[in-house]
């Protein structure tokens, strides 16, 4: 796994900023989402200034926004609503909804970052497989359809078994911060 869970204290719930699209597995994660994502806003509209989290976190410090690596045209960020530990998203800096809207350079760097994400997750966590992909449009399951993002979800044999275990409300914010730190260091080494 990505880290040891040695902290048996029960820290107060804290709000973690970040970006993500709640979807299929949300009910598994409801317990800890409740603790710190109360009122977590989805965008009010399709524009970059309508509260798009993928735009907003670009202005944050990496640790605050859970950003793992920044490229020239794209960046990699931990999902605030992870399916699994280490669930990353690769997004263009530009507020673009559709994959066909990316120019060639953005397309190339998004692909390169997806590969690096796999390399890093294998190195750090021994990921045995991945689910990788994008949901284009709300009807396809995109929670934040206005700003495209490629999911990179590491998988392990039997990984659904530990999800309830790590799904403890008060631990997750620290878990995400620690995960981000580990991945960011490994990303520098892989880049
Ligand atoms: Zn945006």
Query: Percent of the chain beyond pLDDT 70?
Result: 72
Identity of the highest mean pLDDT range in 20-34, 106-120, 123-137, 170-184: 106-120
For residue 99, how far is its CA from the centre of ligand 1 (angstroms)? Answer: 14
The separation between CA 141 and the C-alpha centre of its own chain, rounded to angstroms, equals 16
Q: Does residue 32 sit within a domain? A: yes
The mean per-residue pLDDT over the stretch 5-28 comes to: 56
Range(s) of the domain holding residue 168: 26-190
Query: How many independent structural domains does the chain possess?
Result: 1
Tell me the per-residue pLDDT of 56-70, one tens digit each, with 9 for 90 and over.
Answer: 999 999 999 999 999
Q: Which residues hold their Cβ within 5 A of ligand 1, which is an ion?
A: 48, 52, 54-55, 95, 147
pLDDT value for 120: 97
Residue 90 lies in a domain: yes
Q: Which of 32, 95, 149, 151 is catalytic?
A: 149
177 CA from centroid of ligand 1 (Å): 22
| 189 exposure class (CB count in 10 Å sphere: 0-12, 13-18, 19+) | exposed
Does 185 map to a domain? yes
Closest CA to 68 of 102, 25, 19, 35: 19
Each residue of 88-137: pLDDT tens digit?
Answer: 999 999 999 999 999 999 999 999 999 999 999 999 989 999 999 999 98
- Give catalytic status of residue 149 as yes or no: yes
CA 42 to CA 11: how far, in whole Å?
27
Could you tell me if residue 14 is inside a domain? no
Would you state the pLDDT for residue 81?
Answer: 80
Q: How far is the CA of 128 from the centre of ligand 1 (A)?
A: 31
Per-residue exposure over 35-62, b if at least 16 CB sit within 10 Å of its own CB, e if not: bbbeebeebeeeebeeebbbbbbbeeeb
The answer as to whether 12 is a domain residue is no
In a domain, 38, yes or no: yes
Please give the distance, rounded to the nearest whole angstrom, from the Cα atom of residue 126 to the centre of ligand 1: 31
CATH code, domain carrying 139: 3.30.428.10
The pLDDT score that the predictor gives to residue 94 is: 97
- The residues, ordered by sequence, that sit 6+ positions from 76 with a Cβ below 8 Å of its Cβ are 67, 68, 69, 88, 89, 90, 113, 116, 117, 187
167 or 151, higher pLDDT: 151
| 2 within domain boundaries | no
Please give the DSSP secondary-structure letter assigned to residue 14. Answer: -
The answer to whether residue 13 sits within a structural domain is no
């Amino acid at each position: 796994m990505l880290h040891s869970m040695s902290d048996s204290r029960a820290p107060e719930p804290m709000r973690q900023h970040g970006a993500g699209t709640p979807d299929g597995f949300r009910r598994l994660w409801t317990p800890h989402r409740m603790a710190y994502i109360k009122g977590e806003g989805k965008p009010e509209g399709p524009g970059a200034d309508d509260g798009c989290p993928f735009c907003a976190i670009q202005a944050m410090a990496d640790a605050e926004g859970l950003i793992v690596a920044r490229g020239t045209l794209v960046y990699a960020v931990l999902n605030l609503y992870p399916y699994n530990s280490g669930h990353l998203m690769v997004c263009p800096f530009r507020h673009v909804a559709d994959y066909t809207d990316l120019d060639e350079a953005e397309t190339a760097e998004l692909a390169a970052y997806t590969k690096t994400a796999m390399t890093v997750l294998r190195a750090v966590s021994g990921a045995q497989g991945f689910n990788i992909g994008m949901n284009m449009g709300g009807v396809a399951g995109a929670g934040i359809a206005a700003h495209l993002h490629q999911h990179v979800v590491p998988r392990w044999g039997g990984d659904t078994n530990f999800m309830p275990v790590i799904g403890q409300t008060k631990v997750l914010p620290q878990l995400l911060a620690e995960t981000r730190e580990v991945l960011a260091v490994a990303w520098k080494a892989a880049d």
